[in-house]
Chain A
Amino acid sequence: MRVLERIPTSTRGQVLALAGAGSAWVGAYWVNGWLWDWVLHDVAGLDPQARLTEALRFFLYDTVKIALLLVGIIFVITVLRSYMSIERTRAMLGGKREGVGNVLAAGLGVITPFCSCSAVPAFIGFVAAGVPIGVTLSFLIASPMVNEIAIGLLLTLFGWKVTAIYVASGVLIAIVAGWVLGRIGAQRWVEPFVFQTTLGGEVIDSTAALTFAERIQMGAEEVVTILRKIWPYLLVGIGLGAVVHGWVPTDFFTSYAGAGNAFGVLVAVAMGIPLYSNAAGIMPLVQTLYDKGLPMGTLLAFMMAVVALSLPEMILLRRVLRPQLLGAYAGVVGVGIVAVGYLFNALLA
């Protein structure tokens, strides 16, 4: 964990260290491609055609691949994001009216470093500083829905087109949902103590004065923290993917949730809401289901439902939002996700 002591202090040393780490990463990613064929087929002597071998290969290969991708993506994004902070975001949103504010908030929700575990202090901090409720909600919806790890994984697994669709539709849902909630008078359903809270003390922008070595340190720490938190989800997700990959026939899903089924997206969203995982854990499964012929719109809707609407976050937000507003929040976001699913199934077909 204590990378900082080992990071060279000279700029040249830092560049060399980063280049070394980068080459090691590329090497490992490249080796992973044929390593498991060799281990399973040549060393262990398993039949390459057998379903068990295929599923096993899928599991091992994907675990290493996704883990490597996550290490790279989380590190790069954390270092980039260390130049942004939630304090700066709030300052930019202060005094903005609804409409423009919703658009800006949704965009900033994508790039601001933020964990939904801090949803409550962020909500109070925004509202007490005068940011309208609807604008604040646009931020809180965009932040988990357009997840930076999901962007990185989608980009590497599915290409830029699907990624652009994901980002654009997530931002659009956040803008519209926040605006609608603001219009229907959401402030009625905010716990009164939020408005009585006075923000004391000076605002300290924690990320403004960091050195580059400290930003690298933050990146390395974040990789460890996130991987430690999500590895069970990741293994379950890849395990499910391996089972589907090996044993479920291709026409099983297409006949139940394929493009021909009018209720496919609804079923996917209804299944996704109670599931609590994260973008990294869900992606191997999404990839397998896509290979099995499920349409991309349905899969994006499923993924968004899993990451954007989660029970733990709802329970946290209950501290500041009345049940009516929580219900409206889940409803508006859910309808948005379903609409995106159908829209892209139609567009990409």
Chain B
Amino acid sequence: MIIKVLGSGCANCQNLERNTREALAQTGLEATIEKVTDYPAIMRYNIMRTPALVIDEKVVVKGRVPTVAAIAELLTAATS
């Protein structure tokens, strides 16, 4: 599983990355986390609100920071 955190280094982008890492640790899933901070690269996902979370090239979260539990749900949904 490849997870991308989209956002240009804002505080919420760091919160999203931290929550995602925690959710990964909780669920015990294996994934690589990439940070995408370059605007043209971010816009390739056609989002207009940062931060955003992309799991295997699919945008699952944009413009907010979900709780660890909510991200864990998204992660398990993506693997099944």
Name A residues whose Cβ lies closer than 8 Å to a Cβ of B.
Answer: 1-2, 86-87, 90, 114-115, 117-118, 120-122, 124-126, 128, 193, 196-204, 206, 218, 221, 225, 319-320
A196 touching B48, Cβ below 8 Å: no
The 6 closest A-B pairs by CB, nearest first: A125-B48, A200-B44, A199-B46, A118-B49, A122-B48, A201-B46
Return the contact of A120 from the options B8, B46, B63 (Cβ within 8 A). Answer: B8
A204 touching B44, Cβ below 8 Å: no
A87 touching B67, Cβ below 8 Å: no
Bound: A86/B65 CA distance, A: 17
Contacts of A202 in B (CB 8 A): 46
Contacts of A1 in B (CB 8 A): 67
A121 touching B40, Cβ below 8 Å: no
B71 lies within 8 A of chain A by Cβ:
no
Bound: A128/B65 CA distance, A: 26
Mark contacts of B36-80 with chain A using CB atoms, 8 A cut-off: 1 yes-contact digit, 0 otherwise: 000110111111111000000001001111010100000000000
Bound: A200/B40 CA distance, A: 10
B12 lies within 8 A of chain A by Cβ:
yes
A203 touching B46, Cβ below 8 Å: yes
A65 to chain B, nearest CB (A): 28
Q: In the complex, which of the residues A1, A120, A197, A206 has the most CB atoms of chain B within 10 Å of its own CB atom?
A: A206
B49 touching A86, Cβ below 8 Å: yes
Bound: A218/B66 CA distance, A: 10
A1-B67, A197-B39 in contact; A118/B45 too (CB < 8 A)?
A: no
| Interface range for B | 20 to 34
Q: In the complex, which of the residues B40, B46, B62 has the most CB atoms of chain A within 10 Å of its own CB atom?
A: B46
Find the B residue at minimum CB distance from A118.
Answer: B49
Bound: A114/B64 CA distance, A: 11
A121-B47, A125-B46 in contact; A197/B67 too (CB < 8 A)?
A: no
Bound: A198/B39 CA distance, A: 11
A1-B67, A121-B39 in contact; A201/B12 too (CB < 8 A)?
A: no
Bound: A115/B48 CA distance, A: 10
Between A and B, 7 residue pairs with Cβ closer than 8 Å are A1-B67, A86-B63, A121-B39, A125-B48, A197-B40, A200-B45, A202-B46
Find the B residue at minimum CB distance from A123.
Answer: B48
A206 touching B63, Cβ below 8 Å: yes
A120-B39, A193-B40, A201-B46 in contact; A2/B59 too (CB < 8 A)?
A: no
A201 touching B49, Cβ below 8 Å: no
Contacts of B39 in A (CB 8 A): 120-121, 124, 193, 197, 319-320
A117 touching B10, Cβ below 8 Å: yes
Contacts of B8 in A (CB 8 A): 120, 319
A200 touching B49, Cβ below 8 Å: no
Find the B residue at minimum CB distance from A129.
Answer: B46
B49 to chain A, nearest CB (A): 5
Bound: A122/B42 CA distance, A: 11
Return the contact of B47 from the options A125, A196, A197, A198 (Cβ within 8 A). Answer: A125
A201 touching B50, Cβ below 8 Å: no
A206 touching B45, Cβ below 8 Å: no
Bound: A121/B63 CA distance, A: 11
Further pairs besides A118-B48, A201-B44: 5, Cβ < 8 Å = A2-B69, A121-B43, A121-B47, A125-B47, A199-B44
